[in-house]
Copies of this chain bind each other. A is one copy, B any other.
Amino acid sequence: MITTDQALEIILKKAKRLEPVSVPLIESLGKVLAEDIVSGDDIPPFANSAMDGYAVVASDTKDASEDTPVELEVLEDQPAGTVATQAVRKGTAIRIMTGAPLPDGADAVVQVENTISGKDQRVRHGFVKILKPVRATNNVREAGEDVKRGEIVLTVGTLLGPAALGLLASLGHPHVKVFRPARIAIITTGDELLEIDQPLQPGKIRNSNAYSLYAQVEQTGAVPVKAGISVDTKEALARILKTALGDADIIMTTGGVSVGDYDLVKDVLDLLGAKLEFWRVAQKPGKPFGFWTYEGKSIFGLPGNPVATMVCFEEYVRPAARKMMGYDLLFRPEVEATTTNDIKKKPGRIHFIRVIVEKNDNVYTVSSTGPQGSGILKSMVLANGLALIPADIEFVQAGGKVKAHLIDQPEDH
């Protein structure tokens, strides 16, 4: 039996970053960039107006006021997306829209609210009155203000969020290279498992692990592969494992890893030539957890109990998958918290207690979600944290300090 730290170290050592793949920009959301992005353009590509108004020579406006407006001749009207056909020179202006390229000769824009146009009877047709002075560069966005051509704008390892997608779009990248999302196969084992639309029968239970794991894989940003239910024969399990090994980067089995006669996972993986890295971890829940490797793939033999399965996914599979997918930060935030209830346990194994974590005035508290049997999924439904009680500790009094993993918080904060 090894410690949780030893188990995690072995697992992460075996988790190798997956190869880069090119995906349509919109599918890159939440993934990790696998190439440096060098801008081929200035962004914005040209000096343009930050306002709707009039492009002018700033020095023309220096004496403008409500009482002494400056009158300029309007040479033309230039919507966004078009280029002026003339240059602005002293005594003239060009009507301009937000985003439109600044015409030659102009060095500032007077916003429309500070003008009276020829539509007003106080102003001659074809002219505009300027009511407020502007200085050079006022209301102008310079070319390259956001990004300069040749600049490295995003580097390998960047987590791609909505703003990064917008930036890549503006630079003309309809496709982008990201580290390939891990494919994670889910195999549930046991003659007692029914599909979830089946009525219960004596001795049978519904296959809930397939659903909780599928959801955990999705929330990790990986690709769940439904490999199916295996009955408790070596032939059936070997067949389903072989298919999964051909199709996924990570293979998870649930059940069949303790010492019972029907615990076939170990035997079948032996037969297939997988290398046992460890079996059994000093933790509760999840003691009979085993880990194998086979041709660069990671195989997690998870326990069959619903809570143990979910806790092992959270503590081991998720960090491994994140490493494969190129994420920099692998672990949920860990905080120190005050327990609101006594915690009593036997020595020898770390316990992962399902807790509700609350934060008040920057102080964290944790409260047990109730009975902690490893079959009691309700304890996990309510939990937003796992409190860690070290192997050698037998008792923590209410008010004492414990460490907790915040399992509803992103790793990337």
Contacts and interface: CB of A to CB of B under 8 A. Distances in A.
A45 B194 CA distance: 13
Interface string A66-84: 0000000000010111110
Given A197-B174, A378-B147, A409-B413, A215 B26 contact: yes
Contacts of A310: 162-163, 166
A213 to B, nearest CB: 8
A145 interface: yes
A99 interface: yes
Which of A50, A206, A305: most chain B Cβ within 10 A?
A206
Contacts of A200: 41, 45, 172
Interface residues of A, number: 103
B26 A113 contact: no
Nearest to A153: B378
A226 to B, nearest CB: 9
Contact of A166 (B165, B377, B383): B377
A261 interface: yes
Q: State how many copies of this chain the complex holds.
A: 2
A199 interface: yes
A232 B79 contact: yes
Which of A95, A166, A261: most chain B Cβ within 10 A?
A166
A191 B80 contact: yes
A29 B215 CA distance: 7
Contacts of A413: 359, 384, 406, 408-409
A304 B145 contact: no
Interface in A349-390: 359, 362, 371, 373-378, 380-381, 383-384
Given A167-B208, A203-B100, A409-B409, A260 B197 contact: no
A163 B383 contact: yes
A244 interface: no
A99 B193 CA distance: 10
A202 B46 CA distance: 8
Contact of A211 (B26, B30, B95, B193): B26
A279 to B, nearest CB: 14
A126 to B, nearest CB: 16
Contacts of A25: 196, 211
Contacts of A171: 206
Nearest to A303: B98
A211 B260 contact: no
Contacts of A209: 166
A168 interface: yes
Contacts of A82: 191-192, 203
Report, nearest first, the 8 A-B pairs whose CB atoms are least far apart. Answer: A166-B212, A52-B260, A81-B192, A81-B191, A162-B215, A163-B380, A170-B208, A169-B211
13 contacts: A43-B377, A52-B263, A81-B232, A97-B260, A97-B261, A98-B305, A162-B211, A163-B380, A165-B214, A166-B306, A167-B377, A359-B413, A406-B413
Given A166-B306, A406-B413, 20 more contacts: A44-B375, A45-B200, A52-B258, A52-B261, A79-B261, A80-B190, A81-B190, A82-B191, A99-B192, A113-B259, A145-B373, A146-B375, A146-B377, A153-B378, A161-B219, A162-B213, A163-B383, A167-B377, A170-B196, A410-B410
